[in-house]
Structure 1
Amino acid sequence: MSQPTRRFRHGLVLGKFYPPHAGHHLLISTAAAACDQVSVLVLAASVESIPLDLRVAWVREAHPEPHVRVLGGYDDVPIDYDDPEIWEAHMTVFRSVLASGGEHAARTPVDAVFTSEPYGDELARRFGAVHVPVDPCRSKVPCSSTLVRRDPVACWEHLSPAVRAWLARRVVVVGAESTGTTTMARALAAAYRARGGVWAETRWVPEYGRTFTYEKLALAQAEALAAGRPPATMDDLFWTTSDFVVIAERQLTEENRLARLGSPVLFCDTDPLATTIWHERYLGFRSPEVEAVAARARHDLWLLTSHEGVPFEQDGYRDGEHIRPWMTERFREELDKRGMPYVELTGSHEERLRTAIAAVDELLARGWEFADPLG
């Protein structure tokens, strides 16, 4: 439908945004183009499983226009469009959330309500406003939050980068040095990209710790050269907890960035949990600071690359073959202790890849779980 030709002072868009999708964004954009001020009410029920503050943040990110205010609140009133008392209970919630938007929002009457729902006429009437229907037949955006919750993969193209990042299944490849973690992460991403469609944008996250080590050694070598000392080697590097905090933070930041750009699955060559073990390896003790970064990470499956049957290749940056059995066992112990779902990869590269793909396919086949919205 065409954009409204008249200009409104205060437009209203409301919904659960559970989660937000392109249909919601069309509503808000339409209102923003037609109104001096837009209030978007994100109304969650306490039984739902996506936090309210997260939904509010997603909508705010997608609509940064200064005249669009995104407000959040809880509406635990049941839905019954035929019951006047329930309608009035909802209106009490709506007015309360509107009032939380500041004096200007509270004092400026809503004169336009933008919806794609059958209840739009009654909602507008109760506000004393005009109802502006937007794509009520879902012809522009054939999507709904119900469909997203049922099958995020089928609705992927209708989701914003922030929602995609939250939904993407994150698979971590971990293992001792020279056990093929990078090779596996890269191969998995290529295998899923080859499936085409929504999977064509599948990404993998390189190991930042390796880049950090290159840069740390290069700096030490430059300092040695300037001081007239022999070239620095890996044995000359002095590691601190702050180094590992930086590595864990940067790893997580890059992971979150790529999750926004990719498909419903993201492959990670290591993660902050692995960084906690490397801290233990180099400094001899665990770090609460690095553990705190690891606690913020959200992952769905770990693939542990066994050192057995994989020749050790020294590239000048690795500890040595003798440490690999210990590292493999530490990964096993830590994953078991934390109850993390993982699959150990053994055999040839081809066998490992088949095992990994089967495990990831099983993860994806389980789908996504959401609490039912309040009816």
Structure 2
Amino acid sequence: MTRGFLLGKFMPPHAGHVLMCEAAAAQVSELTILVCWLPDDPIPGPLRLQWMRELFPNARVIGHDAVVPQTPEAHPDFWAIWRGIVKAAHPEPIDRVFASEAYGERLAAEVGAVFHPVDPGRLGMPVSGEAVRADPWRHWDLLPAPVKPYFARTICLHGPESTGKSTLAAALARHYATLFVPEYGRTWCDWHGSDCRMEDLLAIARTHDAMTRSMLRWCNRRLFLDTDPLMTAVWAEMMLGRRDPWFDSWDATADLYLLLDIDAAWVDDGTRLFGDPAARARFMGLCREVLERRGVRWAMISGPPESRLEQAIAIIDGQGK
């Protein structure tokens, strides 16, 4: 049996880390990965540990959160301290230590292993955690799927029925070469009818939320949402006069909401319910109220339908990343 060991901050895991870990796993019978973090790291350590465990389910992935010296210059007993850390994480003999940096040679000597360098100088995968943190979207293609949701941005189309949300969501996804989550409420009602009970609305909201979480792994930097559970909560108020407590406990709100005004003509497509001007105005008021109550970032889109895409693009580009 050949045992391998490597460590790092993986802040965040990127293609270079995947290359190193996969190359290491191919050379040994058992691989141990030590994920290290400090309390003030910009990306939480437990989240990085979760990412690494998902990426390498066949490795032994261990977390280390003690505050210890990070460089040999920081403490005269640096190598003795880290030798103890490695021994605690990997009590069995280590045959090979893998790293892309020079420290790996000394660490291997400390634990009596052979040093196995992988892509030193990052010639194969020209990326680093520091570079990703500085500009994650520039390095988007070098981020593993579990990491992408952390850096992706969600933009939700919000507002009463017949304001052009679905059309705008699809157009924005095309413009930004990404994906959009379709309105699940319409899918549900197409199959089950529009006479919704609270359990139907909860099923709609939870499924939409699950679809969003899944599609964040596949989007291109931004993910557009054709409504979300905040909108379903408004539907609950309009249809049933109340909302289930689940809606207030849901906290995965979008990074930006675009509230579409009711100055567009209402079109009866056979499934819409609130075309009366008074009902439509109340609907709009509830849509605005939920955004203000939640304290989310939002902007209004109004005017002719043909101008709304241009407005939305200007708002999104103005918000930056």
Category of TM-score, reference length = shorter chain: over 0.9
Per-residue displacement from partner, 1:111-159 (whole Å, max 9, x unpaired)? 2110001211111111111111100111110001101101111111111
1:246 is aligned to 203
Task: In structure 2, give the amino acid aligned to 1:76.
Answer: V
Q: What is the aligned counterpart of 1:84 among 55, 73, 76?
A: 76
Structure 1, gaps ≥5 residues long = 1-7, 99-104, 194-201, 218-233, 368-375
Is 1:324 the counterpart of 2:316? The answer is no
2:257 is aligned to 302
Cα root mean square deviation, aligned:
1.6
2:290 is aligned to 334
Task: In structure 2, give the amino acid aligned to 1:211.
Answer: T
1:197 is aligned to none
Per-residue displacement from partner, 1:319-352 (whole Å, max 9, x unpaired)? 1212221121112112112211101001123432
In the TM superposition, 1:1-375 aligns within 5 A as: 9-65=2-58, 68-82=59-73, 83-96=75-88, 98=89, 106=91, 108-193=92-177, 202-217=178-193, 234=194, 237=195, 239-292=196-249, 294-295=250-251, 297-308=252-263, 310-322=264-276, 323-363=279-319, 365=320, 367=321
Contact map agreement 1:27 1:114 (CA 8 A) in 2? yes
- Residue 306 of structure 1 and its aligned partner are, at CA, apart by 0.4
Contact map agreement 2:173 2:179 (CA 8 A) in 1? yes
- Report the CA distance shift for 1:346/1:15 in structure 2 as closer, same or farther (over 3 A): same
TM-score by length of 2: 0.94
Contact map agreement 2:79 2:110 (CA 8 A) in 1? no
Give the Cα–Cα distance (whole angstroms) in 1 for the partners of residues 275 and 110 of structure 2. Answer: 73
Contact map agreement 2:7 2:33 (CA 8 A) in 1? yes
Worse-superposed segment, 147-156 or 253-262: 253-262
Question: SS at the partner of 1:340?
Answer: coil
Task: In structure 2, give the amino acid aligned to 1:90.
Answer: W
- Residue 241 of structure 1 and its aligned partner are, at CA, apart by 2.4
- Residue 298 of structure 1 and its aligned partner are, at CA, apart by 4.2
- Residue 278 of structure 1 and its aligned partner are, at CA, apart by 1.4
Per-residue displacement from partner, 1:165-187 (whole Å, max 9, x unpaired)? 22110000111000011011111
Structure 2, gaps ≥5 residues long = none
Task: In structure 1, give the amino acid aligned to 2:158.
Answer: V
Give the Cα–Cα distance (whole angstroms) in 1 for the partners of residues 318 and 107 of structure 2. Answer: 44
Worse-superposed segment, 321-330 or 16-25: 321-330
TM-score by length of 1: 0.81
Give the Cα–Cα distance (whole angstroms) in 1 for the partners of residues 23 and 210 of structure 2. Answer: 33
Per-residue displacement from partner, 1:54-95 (whole Å, max 9, x unpaired)? 212222222233xx1111221422322234323333343343
Q: Which structure's relative contact order is higher, taking Cα pairs within 8 Å and 6+ residues apart?
A: 1
Give the Cα–Cα distance (whole angstroms) in 2 for the partners of residues 87 and 350 of structure 1. Answer: 65
Question: SS at the partner of 2:214?
Answer: helix
Give the Cα–Cα distance (whole angstroms) in 1 for the partners of residues 291 and 82 of structure 2. Answer: 46
Percentage of identical aligned residues: 38
Worse-superposed segment, 14-23 or 249-258: 249-258
Question: SS at the partner of 2:17?
Answer: helix
Contact map agreement 1:244 1:290 (CA 8 A) in 2? no
Give the Cα–Cα distance (whole angstroms) in 2 for the partners of residues 178 and 87 of structure 1. Answer: 66
Task: In structure 2, give the amino acid aligned to 1:77.
Answer: V
Matched residue count: 318
Give the Cα–Cα distance (whole angstroms) in 2 for the partners of residues 318 and 203 of structure 1. Answer: 25
